[in-house]
Amino acid sequence: MVTAPTDAQAAVEMASAVETARITATLIRVTGDWSLAEDCVQDAFARALVDWPVRGIPRNTGAWLTTVAKNRAIDRMRSAASEKRAVRELAILTELEELPDGSGGNPGADDDRLRLIYTCCHPALPLDARVALTLRTVAGLTTGEIARAFLVSEATMSKRLVRARAKIRNAGIPYRVPPPELISERTAGILAVLYLMFNEGYSATGGATLIREPLVREAIRLTRLLIGLLGGSPHEPEALALLALMLFHHARRGTRTDAAGDLVTLEEQDRGSWDRAAIGEAMALLAAAEHMGISRRSRPGSYRIQAAIAACHMTAPDAGGTDFAKVALLYDHLGQIAPSPVIELNRAVAVAMSQGPEAGLALIDRLEQTRSLDGYYLLPAAKADLLRRLGRRTEAYREYCRARELAPSEVERRYLGKRLAETGPGSSS
C-alpha cells in the first residue's frame, strides 16, 4: 500500500519530535561517539522520508528508526574498524548488534536521554556551547539551522560544536545522570539553559526580527521532554512552571509585532488574538505545579513566581484590568529569592501601574543611582513612559533618546523612534 506523501511526512515529523533524543542518546551511550550517533540518526530520518511514502508507515516508527540508525552505525564502525580491528571497537560493535530494536518498551531509553541532557548542559562547557549542543544532539537540529538561529556562519557553529564534543571527550565529562548530591544544582542548570534558549528566540538580540521561532519551539519541546523524564522529582513543579511561563509568552507571539513588523507593547496587544489553547495549557500546568508544590511543601521557585506573574497579565480582560498590586507583590517575592536589578525595574513598573507613576518613578530613580542597570535600554524606556504619563515631555524625550541608543534590535529601535516622535518638539500628543 502506498501512503499519501503528506501522511508519511507528518509521521516522520512526529517521530522526529518524539524519538530523536531517545535514539541519539542510546547510540552515544553505546558508541561513545557523538558525531557518529548524530549522523546515523539523521540518516535514519532521511531514509524514512524516502521509504515511508513508498512502502507505508511502519507500525512502530520508533523501532524502525532505531534499527536503521543502529545498522548504519554498525556499517560505519565496521568499515572504520576493518583496517585496524581494535578490541574496543569490536566490543562496541557487539554491543550495538545486541541493542534491542524496540522503542518505548525499552526502559533504559529514558535514562539515556536524561544522561544526554545532563552531559550537554555540563557546567564545564561554555554556556553558548551548552545551548548549541543541546539543540544539535537532544533536539536534532542541523548545524545549519542552529547557525542561522544564532546568526553565525555554519562554519563557526560547526567549530563550536566540535570543540564542545572534544571537551566532553578530553575533559572526561561523564556521560551520566549526576550523583544525588549534584542533581539539584545540575537540574536547575538545565532549566536555566532551556530558559536561555527560549529567551534567545523570544527576544532575539541583534538582527532585524524580534522572534526566532525555531529556538522558541525547540526550547518548549525540550522542556516538555525534560518534564516527561523528571516525573516525581523535586524539580517537577519548577519545570512545569517554566513550561507554563514559556507558553504564556508564546501565546502572544502573533500580537507582539504589527503588520509592518513594528513592536506592539503588552498593553496595546490584541488580547482576542492571543492563543487561547496555549494559555489554557499554561494555566493547567501552573495549577499542577502549585498543587505539587503545596503537597510537597516546597517553596515556590523563580519559575513558579514568574509564571504566576505572566498568568496575571494573560488572564486580565484588558491591560487596565490587570491586578498590578498582585504583580508588584509577586515581583517582591521574586526579588527576595533571586535578587536582580531587572526584577526591581519590573516591580517599579508594576508599582507605577497600581499606585501611580510618581511611586514607580521614585523606585526607578533609586535603581538608577545604583548604576547596576547602566546600558540596559529598558530602564530609560520605562522611565520615559512614566515621565510621559506625568506630562513631563522634555524629560521623557531625553529618556527615549537614551533608550533608543541602547536598544539591541532594529524592531525595538523603531518602536522607540515612534515614541520619540510623539514626545518630541513639535508633536501634539
User: Segment near other proteins (CB under 8 A), from 75-83, 217-225, 368-376, 420-428?
Assistant: 217-225
Q: Residues 6 or more apart from 27 whose CB is under 8 A from it?
A: 36, 37, 40, 41, 69, 70, 73, 96
Closest CA to 134 of 82, 90, 198, 84: 198
Shortest distance, position 139 Cβ to other proteins, whole Å: 13
DSSP 357-377: HHHHHHHHHHHHHTTTTTT-T
What 3-state class would DSSP assign to 270?
coil
Q: Which is nearer to other proteins, 10 or 50 (CB)?
A: 10
Q: Is 221 in the site for other proteins (CB under 8 A)?
A: yes
Residues in 257-316 that interact with other proteins by CB under 8 A: 275-285, 287-288, 291-292
Shortest distance, position 197 Cβ to other proteins, whole Å: 16
Q: Which is nearer to other proteins, 251 or 343 (CB)?
A: 251
The binder of other proteins chosen from 183, 188, 211, 227 (CB under 8 A): 227
Shortest distance, position 283 Cβ to other proteins, whole Å: 3
Q: Quick one: 192 exposed, middle or buried, by C-beta within 10 A (0-12, 13-18, 19+)?
A: middle
What angle in degrees, to the nearest 10, is found between the helix axes of 180-202 and 108-120? 70
Q: How far apart are CA 28 and CA 306, in angstroms?
A: 36
At 112, which amino acid appears? Answer: D
Is residue 309 within 8 A of residue 331, CB to CB? The reply is: yes
Q: Which is nearer to other proteins, 285 or 387 (CB)?
A: 285
At 9, which amino acid appears? Answer: Q
Q: How far apart are CA 172 and CA 190, in angstroms?
A: 19
Q: Which is nearer to other proteins, 117 or 278 (CB)?
A: 278
The binder of other proteins chosen from 116, 168, 243, 416 (CB under 8 A): 243
Is residue 207 within 8 A of residue 412, CB to CB? The reply is: no
Shortest distance, position 289 Cβ to other proteins, whole Å: 9
Q: Which is nearer to other proteins, 36 or 316 (CB)?
A: 316
Q: Which is nearer to other proteins, 94 or 315 (CB)?
A: 315
Q: Which is nearer to other proteins, 2 or 277 (CB)?
A: 277
From residue 176, how far is each of 118, 120, 138, 224, 390 by CA, in Å? 7, 11, 14, 20, 57
Size of the site for other proteins (CB under 8 A): 26
Shortest distance, position 248 Cβ to other proteins, whole Å: 12
The binder of other proteins chosen from 102, 104, 228, 321 (CB under 8 A): 228
Residues in 3-42 that interact with other proteins by CB under 8 A: 14, 17
Binding positions for other proteins, rule: CB under 8 A: 14, 17, 220-221, 224, 227-228, 231-232, 240, 243, 275-285, 287-288, 291-292
